[in-house]
């Protein structure tokens, strides 16, 4: 019986992990909305220096959370990510 409980707990933890990350991602997006929208405007204006400053204004943990693959739902496009790295 104990093994079944451990298996159930392990399975639930694996299923909830993506949800927990999604909540963390949404919180980081909400906290940094002004920087994200300003970054996108800097991209439109081709102002890479301002974009880098805006990214640096985001706390390290939030920046790591937000800087995920575009295919994984990033708020930043592939083009924006490549552009700011130049």
- Over residues 18-77, the pLDDT tens digits come to 777 888 899 999 999 999 999 999 999 999 999 999 999 999 999 999 988 888 778 999
Of 22, 26, 52, 27, which is closest to residue 38 (Cα–Cα)? 52
Distance CA 11, CA 45 (A): 47
Residues contacting residue 55 through CB under 8 Å, at least 6 positions apart = 35, 39, 63, 84
Q: Distance between CA 9 and CA 70 in Å, rounded?
A: 31
- Pick the more confident residue, 35 or 17: 35
CA distance 84 to 55: 9
Give this prediction's pTM: 0.77
Give the residue with greater pLDDT, 13 vs 49: 49
């Amino acid at each position: 019986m104990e093994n079944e409980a451990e298996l159930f707990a392990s399975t639930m933890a694996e299923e909830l992990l993506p949800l927990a990350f999604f909540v963390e991602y949404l919180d980081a997006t909400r906290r940094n909305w002004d920087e994200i929208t300003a970054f996108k405007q800097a991209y439109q204006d081709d102002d890479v220096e301002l974009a880098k400053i805006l990214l640096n204004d985001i706390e390290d943990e939030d920046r790591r959370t937000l800087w995920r693959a575009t295919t994984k739902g990033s708020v930043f496009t592939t083009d924006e990510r490549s552009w700011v790295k130049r």
